[in-house]
A and B are shown apart, each in its own frame.
Chain A
Amino acid sequence: MRNLSLIAVVVLALTGCMSNLESRKISGTDLSPLKSFYVQKRTEDERGIDRLIADRLTLMGFTASHGTDGPSAPVDAIVTYQDKWWWDLTMYMIQLDLQIRDAHTKMVLANGQSMRTSFIRKSADEMVEEVLTEVFKGVRR
């Protein structure tokens, strides 16, 4: 029994605490002129992640709206995202990928990703904050 407990602890330690936070800017891209954003709601999203992203962008000092039909007024950039969820006693967001796209060409200007397994899970709002902070790190606003 004691040996099994030890193995269980090792397994949990090796599998339960994986995380990754990264962002990437496309060569020649300057995010500092971007002031207004439209968060394009993912068709399958039933948790309102688009609203969380728009709210966080607003808190960061940008103008942001969200929805499915496109922006009602011209914006500087479109935000797209992919949220992945996993079950471990409760459902939690295991990964969030986010792309900042040029409003005219749809080209990705920058992207970010946060991945957290169950033991070090964060709320969806905290995952959104983590990714956006990483994407806009060092950008003069």
Chain B
Amino acid sequence: MVDWRHSVEALYRADAARLWRAVYAYAADPDIASESVAEAYAQALRRGSAVRDPAAWTWRAAFRIAAGAMKDRRAGDRQPVRPIEHVDSYADPDLLVALRALPEAQRAAVILFYYADLPVSAIAHRLGSNALAVRANLSRGRRRLHALLGDDDD
């Protein structure tokens, strides 16, 4: 019998750090990143073998949970946007600030493309979108990111 818990833990040890960083770049909030990653893996653990592709599923779930948390946060007390908490001073602060200026769909697309190194079709799969929309978001997000980073000479 397959030890599902062991498999999910192995996946967590191999992939959760990248997922956490990707969600952190997406949500700009370490609490949302931790919440989303923990919830995604907990649900994967609970669902067991019903999850066909745990690696893709946890990314998809974590991004959706993060999107829901960001929506709840916006609909809540309407506080001014929280300053970015740089978890590590060696990270690229300009990049994180620029990412926050992108619409969420563009932000998710560029993070999965440039950080997770996924092809467009896999990004579409993980975001529950289609390749045409991902390509459009990726193109717009890339141009916007270059402009925000002071590198719009393309």
Asked if A pairs with B, the answer is no
